[in-house]
Chain A
């Protein structure tokens, strides 16, 4: 990799710049809109110059939205909290259940292992809509309707297959010999799993966990159908700014910015596991 020519480096730089522009421009535009009111957002043609205002953020954070029709209550911060709670708990449960299972599938070819693994994946095949209507009926009978517990359970459909299958791939890439050598040294199965397998699959677990978190965060149909207003995530909350008296683009933008922030913080924190990673090659030597 050392012998890259100048031309190649320039080309790479140009390509990367184009990529960053394509993916970041809409984000930047949303960020800018979050400091504007509809009056400056809706100009023909669109303009870069505007007088920034914090009104959108103030409205979201204080929960008081000033409109021509008076002050409206909005539950945005509550929605944000619901999103955090639902996503964190769901991913945590999924990791607890999924990582050991992934390890089992990767390390042990047992009777029916592929069938069980495929069955777990197949829960992702069913469109949410397909199971939702009957699920509402059963949830009501079981008393799970409108509970966080029920929601977190259903969220496993989003998180678990993803975590299971991604992490499984990473476990399979860890040479069994390393673990074996450790176990020969008199360590228990659990110690081997915890001290060797888990750290080596760290990047995979971080990537899978983060992606599962993002997908859980972005979902809204489960909560919408299964829970009442006080348990709705931020994705439903942000739709409240599409009002019959107009779409509040500024507030939606601010809502997007606020709702990206926790995930972004998590991603930045997980970065060292995610992309720094441990080089398996080094271990393998």
Chain B
């Protein structure tokens, strides 16, 4: 490598030159962007190696269990750098998302030592943690001998980081003092609005500012656009996945809760309060009036596909779903825009519930120290920046990445409103569920109840009373209520 270029890269790594300056500088030296990237990787590898013994586990092999996902793709694309840095070998099994968590449950419940680390969501750790399948990562994060000095644990967005930490007590607050760090956030999803700009212009409507406006805007869009296009896409299948995106984000914005925790730690259903009933009535009305016709079968895929193909005017779902639909061979690629959504007119800002793709360490791993080397690299600032700027690693969990000019520019160029959307709601973004082992029982039944309400099989008030009664029964039966 030429000395000049080396110096420039090192200056960047020391923080004296920003990223744009670096690329410009390298460009001026006649290096193509691709080459610059390679040099940068090499430089980073050198910088990482400088202050920490990355080679401590040289020659060891670890095995990962991964979900077929753009985040995993981004990691795999960068994996050579890790291998070079540590001299370790990494092998991995990738399973389709449809069956991924079944595979995880099967492997962990059999105490299989095959996988050292795996991808997970924070909700899942509420099962895996108490079951003894995963390790509290604080032991490594807080040990300077095992964690490299550049790791910057404080760099993680606080709401996201603490959403992955739980003390294991049913109803225990996420991120409490005694919480265990069950997993490390990798990238996350805020639930907000992604909308079709052309359709909004055509119908002459703006981005809705609260729940009532969302109902009227969706109805107007559906009426004015015509051609089978419906107003708003939200998920509706009989699954926890229906509850956690837009629905719970708006619900939480009205300060409503799934469960209440009493002083002595007993849990009780809270879906049948007056406020909750009023919100449910609005949500159900919105789906009946302007949701997809076959809403009750709608998962992530259908919500996204419809938006991408121009069958829906907006979605209230994961921001990165809207992000994916704005690219690829989607008909509406390049025509989508983003906005934060504050459902409650009295709330100051949006409070999205979030999904966090995270990395967890298996308790059955045969070499946890070596596994931690991979985890700290994969969740480290360098890989985060690589994923965010070169691949589809949205939304990154590190504040430093969000400050990166190249990343912001990439988003601003092709994803109008995305950065503003993120900035407006990142502070209020966290998991709004009560952490407890019956999470999936509760949310599946909640979704089934919503389906019955939308199909007009049961009135909203009555449905919620029944749901609360059933949930309370199950909590008691499990010794939680």
Contact = CB atoms under 8 A, between A and B. Distances in A.
A and B touch in the complex (CB under 8 A): yes
B106 A37 contact: no
B29 interface: no
Interface string B202-238: 0000000000000000000000000110000000000
A119 interface: no
Contacts of B106: 132-133, 136, 224-225
Contacts of A42: 305, 308-309, 311, 331
A133 B102 CA distance: 11
B304 A246 contact: yes
Contact of B114 (A146, A225, A242, A243): A146
A44 B227 CA distance: 8
Interface in B385-405: 391-392
Nearest to A220: B99
Interface stretch (A62-70, A107-115, A201-209): A62-70
A184 B451 CA distance: 71
B245 to A, nearest CB: 13
A239 interface: yes
Interface in A42-79: 42-45, 67-70, 72
Contact of A229 (B73, B95, B112, B324): B95
Nearest to A247: B301
A247 B311 contact: no
B456 interface: no
Contacts of B114: 145-146, 228
A212 interface: no
Given A42-B305, A244-B70, A239 B331 contact: no
Q: How large is the interface on B (under 10, 10 to 19, 20 to 34, 35 or more residues)?
A: 35 or more
Contacts of B329: 37-39, 68
B391 A70 contact: yes
A246 B328 CA distance: 9
A245 interface: yes
Contacts of B7: none
Given A42-B331, A224-B102, A246-B301, A69 B70 contact: yes
Given A42-B311, A145-B110, A245-B328, 16 more contacts: A38-B329, A43-B309, A44-B227, A69-B73, A132-B106, A133-B109, A140-B112, A145-B114, A224-B103, A239-B98, A239-B99, A242-B96, A242-B98, A244-B320, A246-B304, A246-B325
Interface of A: 37-39, 42-45, 67-70, 72, 132-133, 136-137, 140, 145-146, 220, 224-225, 228-230, 232, 236, 239-240, 242-247
Interface of B: 68-70, 73, 77, 93-99, 102-103, 106, 109-112, 114, 227-228, 300-301, 304-305, 308-309, 311, 320-321, 324-325, 327-331, 333, 391-392
21 contacts: A42-B309, A42-B331, A44-B227, A45-B228, A68-B327, A136-B109, A136-B112, A145-B112, A145-B114, A224-B95, A225-B106, A229-B93, A230-B93, A236-B95, A240-B94, A244-B97, A244-B320, A244-B324, A245-B328, A246-B305, A246-B324
